[in-house]
Structures are given as C-alpha cells and as structure tokens.
Chains A and B, each alone.
Chain A
Amino acid sequence: MTTPSLASLLLGPINAVMRIIDAPLRRLQKATGIGGMATFFLAPNMLIFGIFVLLPLVINFVYSMTGGTAFFLSERDFVGGAQYSRLFECQNYLDPMSCQEDAFWTAVGNTFWFVLLQVSLMILTALITALILNRELAARSFWRAVFFFPVLLSPVVVGLIWKWILQRQGLLNFGLYQFGMDPYTWLTDRNWTFAATIGVSLWAHMGFYALIILAGLQAIPKDLYEAAEMDGTKPARVFWRITLPLLAPNLLVVVVLALIKSVQVFDEIYVLTGGGPGTSTLFLTQYIYETGFASALRNPGLAAAASILMGTVLVVLTLIQLGIGKRGENKGKR
C-alpha cells in the first residue's frame, strides 16, 4: 500500500482508540496475569449471553408457572402447572375444537402437517437440484446462484412478493387467464392458502438445503464413480449403490436441520397470510407470539408454557442431529 487507501483511512482512528485502550489493559494484565486476561476477553460475550439467552431460558420455566397479564415477574401469581394443564385440557386430542385452548391445538395440528409436507418436499426438491447442479454443467455457479438467490431475501420480502403474486389481480391469475381459466382468490381459500405456505417456504429455503447436499455430493470420492464406469455399472445402480449410501449422513443432517427450521415457521407466513383465512395457517410460533404479546387477552404464562413444549421438541431434534454428527465423525476417523 503506497497511497493511503480507504482501509487505512478507516483503520487509522480505530488503531488510535485501540492504543488508548491498551494502557489500562496493560495495568489489568499486570494485576491478573495472562490467564486473567482470558476472563477479560470472554466477559463481554458471556455477559450478553447470560442476560439475553441463559437468563430468559431459566425464567421461562418460572413464567410458565405463573398467571395473569402482567409482564414483571414480581407482579405475577404462582399457579403451578395450571398453564400446562390448560394447554392439555382436551376431550379428544384429534379434534382441536374440543380443547380448552383450541388455538393451540389447531396450531399444533397445522404445524405437524406443515412440517411433514414441507420437509419431505424440501428434501426431494433439494436433492434433485443438488444432483443436477453436480452434473457437468456449463456456468454451474450461475445455476447454483439461481436456486440459492431467494435464501438471502428477508422473510417479509418473500411474504410480500408472494402475496402480490397470489392476489386476485396477481401473476398467477394472469397465467390462468392466458389459458382461458377464471381468476381465483387463492388467499381466501383454506386449502390453497395452506398449500401456498408450503410452496412459498420451499421457494425461499430450498436453495439452502440444496447447497449443503451439493457439498456432500462433491465430497464423494470421484474414483468410486470411475471404477463403477469401468465396470459398466448402470447409472441408476450407481445412484442407489454409491451416491445415496455415501450421501446418507449428510442427508440425515439436512433432514433434521430442515425439521428444526420447519417447526419454527413464522415470518414469511405471517406476512403472507397472517395465519388466515380463519386459523388455517396458524402455526406454533405465531400462536406463542399472539398469546404472549399481540392479542387483547394476552397471557404470557400460557405462551411461555407453549414455548417450552416447542423447545422440548427442538432440543430432541438437535440431540438427534448432534448424535448423527458424532457418528459421521467417527466414521471419518476409521
């Protein structure tokens, strides 16, 4: 760097600040020793972490055992397991309407179907996309970018783009009109709206999973394929006998990752449908948000209890993921 570049202009003042900080820190180092400095470096992160992640995690349990609408813990009454039993009070678990908290069970049911359909379609489409991107394609990075591009978009943008397309005067109806079909108000139909939530979340996140699967595919040793080719193995057999088994650990991680994200579905769907029409696209996170904050009859204790139930599911899924990761590592070492 011969001329003062933009970087050095920016770094100049920062360096000066760092030099000023250095003097008191040297004194601190003298007092605590080198080991003590480790605590100093770790402290800010752990402090923020403790206040904004660990503490909430702990008081969430306390919250779930208190009642009332106040937010400050000191103003809340202890009710024991009442919130949980309220959530679980049902005559028939398969019919949400027979439950006291029918919205909760509707959300559980919706989330269940959403996760089941979205994750299976997600894995299927992501796997196909990754297999195609793994072929000898010209401009492969361009094609990869095509599928990956929506991943970075904000959920609000995704929701609004699709709300605009599914409108009565939207692009989808325009397409149908070109084929001589009648326009339809998609977002007022329960089933179509539910299908749209799955389609939109596929559109938004498929590229992410395709990318991870692609990395897995590229890690499969090429000589295996060369050997198979020399033996004249049929391509379908190569796929079932080489690609799929060697991809399996990677694929399992992707499945669990997709499950974890899918259970928490909220942002783009909230913007797209607001949970409607009716409660047809009300999912768990939205239930927690509305019970805790948004509705007139807000009940933070109930929301905390529901969030702990959801958290339990997520912890189980994460433990499975870690277990798979361990097994994969051990395999690699052997």
Chain B
Amino acid sequence: MGKVAHFILRRRGAHGSGKGWHWTDVFTWVWLIGGLIIMFGPAVWLVFSSLKTPAALAEFPPTILPYVTSQATIEGYDKPLMLYDAKMPDGSTRVLAEVRRIGLVAQMVDPKAPGEIVKVNINDRTPVRTMSFATNNYTEPFVHFDFLHYLWNSVFVTVVATVITLVVNSMAAFALSKYEFKGRSLAMLVILATLMVPLSVIMVPLYSIISTLGLFNSLWGVILPTVATPTGVFILRQYMLTIPDELLDAARMDKASEWQIYWRIVLPLTAPALAVLAIFSVVWRWNDFLWPLIVLSRRELYTLQVGLSIYSGELNVQWHFILAMTVVTMIPVVLVFIFLQRFITTGIAGTGLK
C-alpha cells in the first residue's frame, strides 16, 4: 500500500528530495483535483438532473440525486395524496397522507385507516422522499415529440457524410501523392488555402448555392458542403506518401488497373490514417450546428443539435426533456472518447487539427 501511495502521490518534495511537499506539488494537486471537479462536475450534474421529475427540477435548493415526494392513492380521495412523516404529540412518528392544509395545521389521514382525520402542525411533518428515476424523460421525447426523427437524421448525416468523406478524400489524396501531373501543386495549394475558409465566412453565398441546387431543406444540403474536407485530404496524403512506389509498380506489372491499385493496395495500407479521419469526421458531423440550422427549416428534418437548440429556446422550456435529450446527444461522443481517445489525442497532437 505504501508503495502504491508513494507512486500515486509522486512529487518533487522539498529541495527536490522526493520527501515533503514543494509548493509545486501542492499546486499540481490543487489544479488536478479542481480540474476533475470543474471538467466532470457539470456533465455529471447534467446526467443526474436528467433523471429528475419536473417537480424535482424546480426545487431549490436542489438535491444531487433524483428524489420524489411519495404519494399514495387512498380510498375516498380522488387524487393521490402526498405522504409525510408526521411527529405525534406523544413523540412517535407515523406516515400520514395530507388531505388539506388550513393555516398552520395540516389535516392528515392514516393510509391504513382513512376514516379518521389527524391534525398536525405543519412544522411537525416532513415529506417522505424516495429515490426515483424519471425514465420517461428519455422515452417521452421519442414517442410524443420528433426526437426519434432528429436522432435518425443525425445518424444519417453522420454516417453518410463520413463514408463520402473517406472515399472522396482518399481518392484525392491518392492522386495527389502517387501521380505526377500538371497542376498537382496548384491543386494542393488550393486545398491548403481553403483550410482558412471557415463556414462563417461563406455562409451567405453557400446558402444561395444550396437553394439553387434545390438542396435547401434536405439532409444532402447538410452533408455535401462538408465532405471535401481539406484536413482529410491533407492527413491521408501525408500518410500515403510513406507507401513505397515500388509496390504500385509491381502491381502494374501484374496488370492491375489503377482503380485496383487504389482499392486493393493503397487503401488497406492507409487504414490507420483512415481510422483517424473517420473518428474525426463522426465527431465533426455529429456536432455540426450552424450549417444544419441554416439549411434545415422543417421540423422533421432537424438534426439532434438543431432540435435541441430550438426546443431549449422556446418560452416554456421543458427542461426535463431537454436535459435527457442532451444526455442522448452526448452519448455517442462519450463512447468515441472512452474507446478511441488514444487515436484522437495523437491525431490532434500530430496535426494540430480539431
């Protein structure tokens, strides 16, 4: 145990001796623990909140875990009644249901013997609370609202855009890395130059092009402008440059067509770079917001991101649904993060691209 603790709490120590606490050790741990709370706390809070009933969400001060006040249906009363722990004058506690409240006195009944009314001072009773997960926050938006549509649209856009991105970008990268032709450096320059053209700069004319092509209010209008990513061409080209040309020449001797060389030889060898691009593309397209917001104006076409933002901007925000759907929107990215973090972090550290 001592060794483990020593390993986990490895520190510089006073005078660099490894013993005691140098101020940088203290600072490191304050920063790390503070970071843990600030970075994870909000997301954890979101998940807990998403399991609360609207009544529990409106409470202040809030509870961390989702609690609800217990209710019971009692003979002779139409509506379910709230259950309370009531302190009796003799010092004992009974579980009673509140019928009505008059001033400082609550009229209560025993659920087992509903005939007799017990009068209790309101300060002597506390609500009976049990933990309960409001799972219908998750099911209702899918059943009664359009969220199933939104989910499907998001999945469709993400998958189709990623597949097209991989095919189109890898073909271009193949041409730019394995052929000598006139205009190659021009093509490369154009692609690199557009790295600096963000959507926010071209959204007005892009919108008019999309409308002219009849792609307004179509998921294809969301997909097509995003698929020719300069980033993707760049990553793949850099990787393909490392594939020896002799391999291609040998295949040509064996009467392989150029398409076969691309498909059977170069693509499999580029798999690691393709994987990185695929992961990035999935995250990008899943998270896209501004462009879908512009192109899609019909409710049934919204992606999750657009649907969420529209619903959360309404006057009577139904937070219990919004929070649950936010969690749903977060899930794929969290899965990607947990399982593929290594690819992403090395991808970013290597290229500086997000």
A interface residues (Cβ-Cβ under 8 A, vs B):
18, 21-22, 25-26, 29, 34-35, 37-42, 44-46, 48-49, 51-57, 59-60, 63, 71-73, 128-129, 132, 135-139, 141, 143-157, 159-165, 168-169, 171, 173-174, 177-178, 183, 203, 207-208, 211-212, 214-215, 235, 253, 257, 260, 264, 266-267, 270-271, 274, 284-285, 288-289, 292-293, 300, 303-304, 307-308, 310-311, 314-315, 318
Contacts and interface: CB of A to CB of B under 8 A. Distances in A.
Contacts of B187: 42, 46
Contact of A38 (B27, B181, B257, B323): B181
A165 B45 CA distance: 8
A57 B197 contact: yes
The 3 tightest CB contacts between A and B, nearest first, are: A45-B172, A154-B287, A38-B179
Instruction: Name the prevailing secondary structure of the B interface residues.
Output: helix
B36, B259, B326, most chain A CB atoms within 10 A: B259
B200 A310 contact: yes
B305 interface: yes
Given A26-B257, A45-B169, A149-B40, A71 B211 contact: yes
Interface in B260-307: 260, 262-263, 283, 286-287, 289-290, 294, 305
B259 A267 contact: no
Contacts of A174: 60-62
B191 A264 contact: no
11 contacts: A35-B180, A44-B171, A53-B197, A57-B201, A63-B205, A144-B345, A159-B309, A164-B319, A165-B42, A212-B348, A264-B200
Given A45-B168, A145-B341, A146-B36, A310 B204 contact: no
B258 A34 contact: yes
Contacts of B341: 141, 145, 148
B348 A303 contact: no
A152 B283 contact: yes
B205 A60 contact: yes
A303 B172 CA distance: 33
A260 B61 CA distance: 41
* Residue from A154, A168, A260 having most chain B Cβ neighbours under 10 A: A154
